[in-house]
Structure 1
Amino acid sequence: MTARALNVLFLVLLLSGWSHAAQAGQARDTLKASVDEVLSVLSSTKSGDPARTEKLQAAVSKVFDPEELARRTLAANWEAFNPDERQRFTKAFVRLLEHTYLRRIEAYTDEKVVFMDESVLGEGRSEVSTKIVTSSKEVPIVYRLIKKNDWKVYDVVIEGVSLVQNYRNQFNQILAKESPAQLIGRVETMGSAS
């Protein structure tokens, strides 16, 4: 290899390393801003207030990527859904997650959120480790983010359990016996249940 080729190779390696270094911290900062906004809504509004729920939905939707979350949850099954079914599934799945997890967020009572490491998973993907500290325990939560225009969450791992993987397993079992339309119907029903 010539000296010029070695210099070019070194420059490429240096720039790719710089790209990962520049990327580090950005996902964490985006996630922290979103969590801070959620905590602000919780501290400035009263439980049961419909405006509170709307504000929480708006804050959470800024950092989550619904289509990426839905696509990764369905995995290989995503291709079996036509474009209309993908859109309906994504909307229903987001409603289900809101129904399930916004109630948990609203039950937050002054626990402390600690932001820890950010790890680069690959080009345009990072993982941010956090923990919720209560008076009796610490709950580790890892957010997986993808860089599109902004950093967006595509999976959450709570105490070692991936939200995407958990739902993927459930939906794979349903899709082994039922059609995409039937799965969508089930998810719509679960998301609208009180």
Structure 2
Amino acid sequence: MVAANDHGPTDNLRRLRRTGGWIASKLASHGQAGSTIVTLALVLGCALAIAPAGCAATRADAATATPLGAVKSALDKAIKILGDQQMPIAQRRRELRQIAEGNLDLTRMAQAAMGVHWDQLSPAERTQYVPLFAAFIETAYLDQIQDYVKLRIEVSGEKLGGPRHALVFATVLQPDQPPIPITFVLENRGDHWLVYDVQVEDISMVENYRAQFDRVIREHGIKYLMSRLKQKQAQLEALLGQTTADSRH
């Protein structure tokens, strides 16, 4: 594993909170760990690998592409969708979700977010939990995409940690806001790169979720956590089910 570099001043997270749409869904009122990073990180991270379909590059191309090249190509695709105000929001959400589901390592992220409590889940509960976790994080960014129409991203470099792991460094640029450095953590799966964490100031999105989930579980139990995740799944279905009558913000 390669470690992320220190990219900026200590007020980056406060600035991220002020960024349009930076209000991520939370499971309960148990602190803000995780909610400060999630929305923008997932909007950006949803496209960090070469898409399995509908993309000019093929999986064979991805096998030889650098992580930085893959990120640049995919972010261009995501930003184009985010900024297309002629496309109904519901359609933009569906297209971003397709990118996310093909390119995020959701199983790995879900297990890491559950932490030590993963061993307490039965095989059936694990099977149920992973898609619930996916719906939870997808809701966090898909609900806010109208706030990122003026988003610009500059990819500045990469750092390899052997043939399978890499960091890609980028900067988020928005009008009247200081630049925000983001680090994406990727793994090569042989024919494509997958993102499995996003970091702001070396603060891990997955680790923040783990702390948040741990607190909820210790105070209310795993069943309570699962019930709240199911609510987020229903919210996601509602977001994706909106028709073209949805407003084009």
> TM-score w.r.t. structure 1 length?
0.76
> Is residue 2:195 matched to residue 1:139?
no
Q: CA contact under 8 A between 2:198 and 2:204: conserved in structure 1?
A: yes
Of the three residues 95, 103, 109, the one matched with 1:55 is 95
Which is bigger in relative contact order (C-alpha 8 A, separation at least 6)?
2
C-alpha contact 1:73 1:165 (8 A) present in aligned 2 = yes
Q: CA deviation at 1:24?
A: 9.8
Alignment pair present for 1:148 and 2:186: no
Alpha-carbon distance, 1:159 to partner: 4.6
Supply the distance in 2 between the matched residues of 1:29 and 1:79 (Cα, whole angstroms). 37
Larger Rg, first or second structure (1 or 2):
1
Query: Structure 2 matches for 1:92-107, cutoff 5 A?
Result: 92-107=132-147
The answer to whether the Cα contact below 8 Å between 1:24 and 1:120 also exists between their aligned partners in 2 is no
CA offsets per residue over residues 160-183 of structure 1, 9 Å max, x none? 432101110011112224443332
Which of 214, 227, 230 is the aligned partner of 1:188? 230
Could you give the per-residue CA deviations for residues 12-57 of structure 1, whole angstroms, max 9, x where no partner exists? xxxxxxxxxxx99622222222211112223345364322211111
- Residue 171 of structure 1 pairs with residue 189 of structure 2: no
In structure 2, list runs of 5 or more residues that go unmatched.
Answer: 1-62, 239-249
The one-letter amino acid paired with 2:91 is A
In proportion to residue count, which structure has more strand? 1
Cα contact 2:158–2:168 (8 A) shared by 1: yes
Paired with 1:125 and 1:141, the residues of 2 have a C-alpha distance of: 17
Q: What is aligned with 2:150?
A: 110
Give the equivalent residue in structure 2 for 1:119.
159
Relative to 1, partners in 2 of residues 1:145 and 1:57: Cα closer, same or farther, differing over 3 Å? same
- What is the distance in 1 between the residues matched to 2:104 and 2:130? 12
Give per-residue Cα distances to partners, 1:76-131, cap 9 Å, x unaligned. Answer: 32222222212221111111111111233332123320001211235522111111
TM-score normalized by the length of structure 2? 0.61
The match for 1:13 is: none
Quote how far apart the aligned CAs of 1:187 are.
Answer: 1.8
**Partner residue in 2 for 1:77:** 117
Equivalent-residue separation in structure 2 for 1:166 and 1:65 (angstroms): 17
Higher helix share: 1
Partners of 2:127 and 2:134 in 1: CA distance: 11
Q: CA RMSD in A?
A: 2.5
Question: SS in structure 1 opposite 2:183?
Answer: strand
In structure 1, stretches of 5+ residues that fail to align are 1-22
Distance, in Å, in 2 between the alignment partners of 1:59 and 1:33 is: 13
Q: Distance in 2 between matches of 1:29 and 1:84?
A: 39
How far 1:132 moved relative to its partner? Answer: 0.7
